[in-house]
Amino acid sequence: MYRKDVDIGSIIKRVLEEKNIKKTAFARLLGYEKNSRKKVYSILNSKSIDTHQLIQISEILNYPFLDEYAKEKPINRQILQIETKPSKIEEIVAELSKDKSLIITKLTVCDRN
């Protein structure tokens, strides 16, 4: 399944603003010479866009625009990286091996963080 409520033009506009890329520079990156202003505004005002063009824009802006159509946003893998000292992990394992009922408690606590 994919999301149908994506306003891709607005998302592209937001990314351009976040990266401080002017519309004229964006037009040049896309290879537009004639009617570049009209073409860029056409993209930014579009609710949908040709897939080939969206892939091109994704590569130019280094942003995964296709992910915007995913039913749920992909989880940022960096957020999932757990930085725990090995001694802390060993402590938790030792504690859990003593009393199996603590597993639920520890999982609940970890889930809240």
In order of 2, 15, 74, 104, 112, the CA distances from 70 in angstroms are: 5, 18, 8, 32, 25
Average model confidence (pLDDT) across the chain: 76
pLDDT at 10 over 90: yes
Closest CA to 24 of 11, 37, 43, 41: 37
* pTM score above 0.75: no
Q: What is the pLDDT of residues 40-55, one digit of tens each?
A: 999 999 998 999 999 9
pLDDT at 3 over 60: yes
Fold exhibited by the domain 8-69:
434 Repressor (Amino-terminal Domain) (1.10.260)
Q: Where are the domains of the chain?
A: 8-69, 82-112
Regarding predicted confidence, which is higher, 86 or 47?
Answer: 47
Q: What is the mean pLDDT of residues 81-96?
A: 58
